[in-house]
Amino acid sequence: WKMVFGTSLNLDGVERDVQAARAEFQQRIDGLVTIMLVSALILLGLIALVAVFMSNALLSPLLLIKRNLDDMAQGDGDLTQRLPITSQDELGELAASVNVMLTNLEKSRERQKRLIGDASHELRTPLTSMRTNVELLLADQKTGMLPEQARGEILTDIAAQLGEFSSLIGDL
């Protein structure tokens, strides 16, 4: 029984050991906090770099589309040029839609050029004929060489050509 009831504990160095253990524990906690803060800053930097890379990757196709459309809006655009379709997502669909629009605009421009060329030719023919007849009548005023019947036929031709000319202009 003496061992159970009569033993005295020696607590002389316990307080010093507890203080040392507390200091070591606090030092480890401070080290972990420092590691966590540095890790968080490094992770934040990596996230920022990835965000910059991703935003550039997402915006570059949109900027290409915008540049091409700006060129076309200013009249400098080449309607035969097409946008590259680099993905199957919404940006790829947008590029495909722009390409379809460019194809339709190019066809429309070609039709317009043909119409202008055809109209120019169709208007030039009666105009040339009228000019020739008027010049002939003016020359005859000075010389008087045309018979009256020929002058009447020329005036009838001029009236018919004016009617054809008016009809062509009306069709346009």
> Could you read off the pLDDT of 84-125 as tens digits, one per residue?
777 788 888 888 898 898 899 889 988 988 988 888 887 788
User: What average pLDDT does this structure show over 59-65?
Assistant: 82
Q: Hey, how many other C-beta atoms are within 10 angstroms of the C-beta on 98? A: 17
Residue 2: its pLDDT value, please? 47
How far apart are the C-alpha atoms of 83 and 72, rounded to whole Å?
Answer: 13
Residue 41: its pLDDT value, please? 97
Q: Is the pLDDT of residue 16 over 70?
A: yes
Share in percent of the chain as helix, strand, coil (round to 5): 85, 0, 15
For the chain, the first-to-last Cα distance in angstroms comes to: 128
What whole-number percentage of the chain has pLDDT above 70? 90
Does pTM surpass 0.85?
A: no
**Residue 1: which pLDDT band, with cuts at 50, 70 and 90?**
very low
Residue 89: its pLDDT value, please? 85
Q: Is the pLDDT of residue 43 over 90?
A: yes
User: What average pLDDT does this structure show over 27-53?
Assistant: 96
